[in-house]
Structure 1
């Protein structure tokens, strides 16, 4: 594995760079400083809200590129480089598909805020980990902001309890099981692969010059763009099959170990 030509590192957040306590290690921040000295760019790519991502990466937030909302938003230093919203006509269709389901909670994700129903205090408490900025509304269909993604949560299992009920939207929309509890629905072009390809084109980065880490199905398209794609040991079977290499789990410094080899 010849890593001598790597110019950019891209990593997912939850289940990848973040440990099970949703923390970034101090070890990573030390490594980041060494990457910077070698002019290796860093990109954080997540299904999370932008504000939530930069809360986790506070000390370096003004130096890195951020791909948020599963690729529907790219920002650097508060400058918006790309948005790929859902067509307004599709929003009601998505909400209608999940509204009859029990214990299912949709989140309308906009550039600077998110909008949720207020029917579950347990859900709202959990949501604070992923969304620094959100507002409770009586009817999500009345939200008049540009919606980048609809994230749908189930406390037990998203693949079992949500995905079968929104699977029919595939083809018109991008439907992704993005975590054990989440399914994300967005525009067909709103995915991490589309956003990362834009970044690669802008910075003239080739597939052998980029290293990508991921753990779940919403990482598949961006993993396919790199000759040095790494699945975490804790990754979904689809990711383990797609990535060219594997590393240790997110609780065992899987990203940091490979970056140390890169350095």
Structure 2
């Protein structure tokens, strides 16, 4: 496959494009301008909320496509391309299950805010980074906006203590370990892979013309949607098994190093 043919670059945010301080590098912003000059489209695909992604990529937010809430929302040119919220009956069903799990702290994610009834101090501290538009509610019944994702936080490990208790829901929902402390539940079509495939169809771009970067299990479907699929060095073992290629970790500019190769391939192609 020819790297110079890539037309679409998709990257996860935390653990991938962002460093351990949740920052985007100046180098990436410089490379983004070059990608844009070569006609390459860029997608930020994250479990984060729309407003959180826009805040992190504020300098370029009007020039990118955003896949938020693990694929629940797809925004292009400031318009909603796809919206897959959890049906109300399913929200209440999942909520009833979570109430039976000790130390499982539920966060209900909507387009413009996140809601929780948890009093977990570590969770509330994290929300200022990931979901700064959060509100404390008595119960999920107080949330009136469509819920795109239910994120479950465990102070030690959601993969170890929460996922095994909700794994049985995988027959009806997307259940993803999205980080050490988080498990995300959404409708089946609300996943990053489905969002990327929708965009590929809309933009008439093939998997062979698509480059994807990811580090955790909620990235697996979108990695499977691209030939140029890259796992970060810091990625979950399942992600490394899925991806075709490996790059450096998120603190060593792993995404940027591959984008430099892509730009060089584009420039060589122009001059050849």
- Coarse TM-score class (shorter-chain normalised): over 0.9
Quote the RMSD (CA, aligned, Å): 1.1
Indicate if the aligned counterparts of 1:152 and 1:184 stay in contact, CA closer than 8 A: yes
Preserved contact between residue 117 and residue 136 of structure 1 (Cα < 8 Å) = yes
Q: Which runs of 4+ in 1 moved over 6 A?
A: none
1:125-155 deviation line (CA, Å, top 9, x unaligned): 2111111312111112332221111011112
Gaps of 5+ in 2: 264-272
Which residues in structure 2 correspond to 1:4-153 (within 5 Å)? Answer: 4-153=4-153
Shift in Å, 1:165: 1.3
Query: How many residues end up aligned between the 2 structures?
Result: 263
Partner-residue secondary structure (3-state), 1:178: strand
* Distance in structure 2 (CA, Å) of the matches to 1:118 and 1:78: 32
The residue correspondences of 1:188-203 to structure 2 (distance < 5 A) are: 188-203=188-203
1:2 offset after TM fit, Å? 2.6
Q: Contact 1:118–1:138 at 8 Å: present in 2 too? A: no
Instruction: Give 1:118 deviation, angstroms.
Output: 4.5
Tell me if structure 2 keeps the 8 A contact 1:91–1:141: no
CA shift for structure 1 position 92: 1.3
Residue segments in structure 1 that go unaligned for 5+ positions in a row:
none
Q: Bigger CA drift: 216-225 or 131-140?
A: 131-140
What per-residue deviation string (whole Å, max 9, x for no partner) do you get for residues 33-72 of structure 1? 1101101000000000011111110000011000000000
Tell me which protein shows more helix as a share of its residues.
2
- C-alpha distance in 2 between matches for 1:2 and 1:82: 30
Spell out, residue by residue over 1:81-117, the C-alpha distance to the aligned partner (whole angstroms, 9 max, x if none).
1100111111111112122333321111111111111
The answer on whether the counterparts of 1:213 and 1:255 sit within 8 Å (CA) in structure 2 is: yes
Residue 158 of structure 2 is matched in structure 1 by 158
Matched, 1:227 2:227: yes
C-alpha distance in 1 between matches for 2:233 and 2:251:
10
Report which stretch shifted further, 126-135 or 236-245: 126-135
In structure 2, distance between residues paired with 1:102 and 1:139: 17
Contact between 2:159 and 2:180, CA under 8 Å: does it hold in 1?
yes
Equivalents in 2 of 1:215, 1:72: separation in Å?
Answer: 19
Asked whether the equivalents of residues 115 and 134 of structure 1 are also in contact (C-alpha less than 8 Å), the reply is yes
Q: CA deviation at 1:20?
A: 0.8
